[in-house]
A and B are shown apart, each in its own frame.
Chain A
Amino acid sequence: MIYSYYPGCTLKDRAKQLDICARKSAEALGITLQELPNWQCCGAVYPQVTDEIASRLSAVRALQSAEGGKLVTMCSACHHVLKRTAYDWNADENFRTKAANYLAEDGGYDGATEVVHFLEVLRDEVGFDELKKKVVNPLTGRKIGAFYGCMVLRPGKVLAFDDPENPTIIEDFIKAIGATPVKYPYRNECCGAYVALEDKGSAEHQVDRALNSAMDAGCDELITACPLCMYNLVENATAHKLPVKYFTELLAEALGVKEG
Chain B
Amino acid sequence: MSVTATSEIEADPLPPRQRSRAWAKFRRNPSALLGGVIVVFFLVVALLAPLLPVPGPAETDWSAVRKPPNAAHPFGTDEIGRDVLSRMIWGAQASLLAGVVSVLIAVLLGVPLGMVAGYMRGWTDAVISRFTEALLAAPFLILAIALAAFLGPSLTNAMIAIGLSAMPIFVRLSRAQTLSVMTEDYVESARAIGIGHVGLIWRYILPNIFPPIIVQATLTIATAIIAEASLSFLGLGQQPPAPSWGAMLNTAKNFLEQAPWMALYPGIAIFLVVLGFNLLGDGLRDALDPRDT
Q: Do A and B bind each other?
A: no
Q: Which residues of B contact A (CB under 8 A)?
A: none
